[in-house]
Amino acid sequence: MLSLENVSAAYGKFRALDNVSMTVSPGEAVAVIGANGAGKTTLLRAISGMLPVTAGRIIMEGVEISAIPPHHIVEHGIAHVPENRRLFPSLSVESNLRLGSYPRIARSQFAQRLDYVYDIFPRLKERRRQLAGTMSGGEQQMCAIGRALMSNPKLILLDEPSTGLAPVIVAQVFELIRRISEEGYTVLIVEQNVQKVLQVVDRAYLLEAGTIRMSGSADELRKSDDVLKSYMGIA
């Protein structure tokens, strides 16, 4: 479904992604793990067109998207849930969801998509008139994921969904991710919470200083000495 071929991206002279190649197949949940500053957010920004690539190609379902502006990339079935959720705090939950259905293909299906999102996240329906900024951190993450689902995406990019949440809420957020993956969505998630994310994905890539250091099944990475030592604090 998605492939990155030798992708590099930079902020000025600083090369934040260096020759990154990876694939995500339909229906898979794939994680990119790595420490602070490894380039995880940059990778998602490159895929959704917010940061131009300086080399390589990004291909979604056979179409090269690396040269397409970000507002058109959503039309190719990619929805990005950014770090810190970026909801509109003074708008209601439902208005935030409505903003997710702006792609042309999704607008005509607004009512059906809303029913679908409320069906999988009943809490959002209960709170539909509440201002998004007054929701708990976990509920806001649910709203941000719901907003992404409103565009009827094929691929959902999740940027550190567990950041800033209390441990009990983190567990709920990973449960949400497991659910959307079971719904059949293809998921690419970047996370620092290595232990938790490897419990909900099929495969993972380890990113270090902008390059892929290791890849394999979630099980393989969970058992790797390097991952255990550097990312799970287990010697």
Q: How far apart are CA 81 and CA 156, in angstroms?
A: 7
Nearer to ligand ATP, 46 or 60 (CB): 46
Report the residue from 192, 211, 215, 230 that binds ligand ATP according to the rule CB under 6 A.
192
The least CB distance from residue 149 to ligand ATP, in Å, is 23
DSSP per residue over 53-99, as a string? -SEEEEEETTEE-TTS-HHHHGGGTEEEE-TT----TTSBHHHHHHH
Q: How far apart are CA 127 and CA 13, in angstroms?
A: 46
Q: Does 38 bind ligand ATP (CB under 6 A)?
A: yes
- Residues 216/204, Cβ–Cβ less than 8 Å: yes
> Treating both helix axes as pointing N-terminal to C-terminal, what angle do 137-149 and 167-182 enclose, rounded to 10 degrees?
20
The least CB distance from residue 34 to ligand ATP, in Å, is 5
Q: Does 42 bind ligand ATP (CB under 6 A)?
A: yes
The least CB distance from residue 20 to ligand ATP, in Å, is 11
Nearer to ligand ATP, 14 or 225 (CB): 14
Q: Does 14 bind ligand ATP (CB under 6 A)?
A: yes
Nearer to ligand ATP, 44 or 200 (CB): 44
Pairing verdict, β 55-60 and 186-191:
unpaired
Report the residue from 2, 4, 9, 41 that binds ligand ATP according to the rule CB under 6 A.
41
Q: Which stretches of the chain bind ligand ATP, using CB under 6 A?
A: 11, 14, 16, 34, 36-42, 192
